[in-house]
Amino acid sequence: MTEDPVDSIARLRPGTLFLVATPIGNLGDLSPRGRDVLRDADLLLAEDTRHTAQLLHACGIQRTSGTLESLHEHNERERAPRVLERLRAGATVALASDAGTPLVSDPGASLVAAVVSAGIEVVAVPGPCAAVAALTLAALPAARFAFEGFLPPRPTARRRALQALAD
């Protein structure tokens, strides 16, 4: 009997880094493929393991000890060499943000750059996108738009950033 490719997506691509988009708000927005990769990856890297644990629990996914680790802006560079080792050894690794897509205003850029430089495959597992969801609800023409990321939290810096965009 052949294996269903949907049920074994991570196992079919050993030595691959999967970038898994996660729900922004409603946990039911996680794609079936995203759920499968979060379940099946040998190692799951999460921006905040507590937040990701809640998503996993909501999806009925239980991970064994040592297969869920944090990867955030403060530890990303130091973790990259060990993640590369695991990928070279044939492990499947998934990276998930707290809400949204890794690298899009979230951690992961240093790791992905190192993985790509090493010639290792990176696969995007798309999902919900806050920018596109907001655009569709704005009732504005949507043929073209620009995503500028998060505005600075401090008022002076935020005004400066908005002025630069207006110019």
pLDDT of residue 2: 42
Q: Which tokens is 61 given?
A: 């996914």
pLDDT of residue 140: 87
pTM value is 0.84
pLDDT of residue 76: 94
| Domains in the chain: boundaries | 9-128, 140-167
CA distances from 27 to 39, 54, 56, 109 (A): 15, 9, 10, 24
pLDDT of residue 1: 42
Spatial contact of 109 and 103, defined as CB atoms under 8 Å apart: yes
Q: Which tokens is 48 given?
A: 């905040």
Spatial contact of 87 and 16, defined as CB atoms under 8 Å apart: yes
CATH homologous superfamily, domain 9-128: Tetrapyrrole methylase, N-terminal domain (3.40.1010.10)
pLDDT of residue 12: 56
39-68 core/surface letters (b: 16 or more CB in 10 A; e: else)? bbbbbbbbbebeebeebbeebebebeeeeb
Spatial contact of 17 and 115, defined as CB atoms under 8 Å apart: yes
Q: List all residues 6 or more positions away from 139 whose beta carbon is below 8 Å from its beta carbon.
A: none
Splitting the chain (167 residues) into consecutive groups of 10 residues, what average pLDDT does each group show? 47 86 90 94 95 94 91 94 96 93 91 97 90 86 86 94 91
Rg (CA), the chain: 18
